[in-house]
Structure 1
């Protein structure tokens, strides 16, 4: 599951086996499933039992491989895969390509998980494309909504900084971006030293990817709402104590 995407039919078969085992079904005898499987997959603080959604968990494990390709571009596997499928590009800007291997097709399908849950932390700005990469942490999707203007469509964030003192070029930023984006950009700190840009996971305090966080992000995305949107804080605390 950490290298290949399991077929949907196989995932459904595993879920069916888990259901039969949990509810005590025997061969030729089928017990009643009193609670929907989706409900049983919810976190315990939301009244569920945290059974794994096999497809979502599989995608979270594949996203971890994509994370390694981004964070360790000098590793042997990153060089090998990158040379064939996204030469001179990053994993996030890669395409599926022609006649891809099953391994690459599996990992590539998890790219959307990293795009939703991760974003670039600004360093020297040389590797972040203004209109193509996610780098605004407080914006939905983390990408710029303003259309390309003044600068080229492939321009990097370094072009939004002054060359002398490494500060935001506020005059240029005001000309290019919408007002709410300008407020976000000028609040992003620029390191004084020449640090490279770094891809981070937004909901992790240390910025590192975790399969558990990615799994929850996928579940939230599938439901199009947070886990605890249907229960109040008091009820959630009750479930936690239980």
Structure 2
């Protein structure tokens, strides 16, 4: 699960088994009473669900951990092997899936958008950081390769914009060749002497570490982080539910009590 992207049909079968177990399906004659869909149950507890893992999102976050090793350990054996086979003249984010790829490479490519959302460079020497279409500016914007400079300097790295000996931006060079708006973003990007080599950082964690938990939350966040959450056709305030939910989960209650509390909560019943 942390190497391959599981087929959707397999994930559906696993979730069906979990779903049936939860609702008491134990024979061909008794399938239990299904009060909520699996999608509703996998909503986080603070929004009224049971917080069960969405296997597709969890699988993607696990595969993303391998991708993170690929983009953060540039000199590792597996990185050099994949680079030689699939993107010899490019970087991971600029690589295509290619012709007749292995299933491992297909899985790695599938996590590209997930990694791109949280990927941010911390600038050391700048020699490993391409200027074009990479997240190295402090405001997380990218310099798109749409200008004449890209034609003249297609392989320019951030190190070419630095005065390496002083760990400062080359103000004269940047002002001469880059337009004012982009130049301002560059000058507003801090350079820390303590960072001596280029370090990829996961921007959703303070220490920059890639955590499967953090990535899973990011994948699941778009449809759920809203001021009002509709659980089943009924809109309620997420903040008020969060306060009630925290009380419920902070108490030492049995699984049976928790089950019936959710089943008869007026916010999540049909």
After TM superposition, the structure 1 = structure 2 runs for residues 1-242 of structure 1, keeping only pairs within 5 Å, are 1-26=1-26, 27-139=28-140, 142-144=141-143, 147-150=146-149, 152-162=153-163, 165-170=166-171, 172=174, 176-177=178-179, 179=181, 184-192=185-193, 195-221=196-222, 223=223, 226=225, 230=229, 231-242=237-248
Give the secondary-structure state (helix, strand or coil) at the position aligned to 1:68.
helix
The answer (yes or no) to whether the contact 1:46–1:228 under 8 Å persists in 2 is no
Deviations 1:97-155 (A, max 9, x none): 2211111111221122111111111222222222221223534xx42368435463432
Give the TM-score normalised by structure 1.
0.83
Question: Aligned-pair RMSD on alpha carbons?
Answer: 2.7
Q: Distance in 1 between matches of 2:175 and 2:23?
A: 60
Give the TM-score normalised by structure 2.
0.76
Q: Distance in 2 between matches of 1:232 and 1:149?
A: 49
* Residue number in structure 1 paired with 2:251: none
Structure showing greater radius of gyration is 2
Change (3 A) 1:91 1:145: closer
- Alpha-carbon deviation of 1:183? 5.0
**What residue ranges of structure 1 are gaps of 5+ in the alignment?**
none
Larger CA deviation: 146-155 vs 21-30: 146-155
- Alpha-carbon deviation of 1:218? 1.2
The answer (yes or no) to whether the contact 1:121–1:197 under 8 Å persists in 2 is yes
**What residue ranges of structure 2 are gaps of 5+ in the alignment?**
230-236, 249-270
The answer (yes or no) to whether the contact 2:48–2:241 under 8 Å persists in 1 is no
Q: How many residues align?
A: 237
